[in-house]
Structure 1
């Protein structure tokens, strides 16, 4: 568990002072990329999730469920 906390902290520190364009580039470079990038996207999603209202969280869940149904297995 300590490794996860350190990884989370490292990712947060890496993106803390980046510009919008830098963060977008990081996301675009991670999507459909190397699986090693997935923890970074997970940390970014965690930040969004924690700052979202219950209604927004429910919307995320619905979008995820729909996209999973729509995507080929």
Structure 2
């Protein structure tokens, strides 16, 4: 069986409004379940692909700070 995980995830959130998308992200993070990580990755991919260079720079700086804090 050939399952395209990316397409399945996008299909599950297509048509969602901002509140629903936020709820999906918050639930995935709060659950701490490993199975939610691919979905978050697909959503981040969409954010990244639709961001301009300034937004990407800001995301990378935020990510760097988060990684440094998590390592403490």
* TM-score, normalised with respect to structure 1: 0.83
The CA deviation at 1:49 is 0.3
Gaps of 5+ in 1: none
Match of 2:64 in 1: 65
The whole-number CA distance in structure 2 between the counterparts of 1:69 and 1:61 is: 12
Equivalent residue pairs, number: 70
The CA deviation at 1:68 is 0.8
The CA deviation at 1:70 is 1.4
* TM-score, normalised with respect to structure 2: 0.84
The alignment yields a C-alpha RMSD, in angstroms, of 1.7
Match of 1:41 in 2: 40
Match of 2:53 in 1: 54
| SS of residue paired to 2:51 | coil
| SS of residue paired to 1:24 | helix
The CA deviation at 1:67 is 1.0
Structure 1 segments, 4+ long, off by >6 Å, are: none
Gaps of 5+ in 2: none
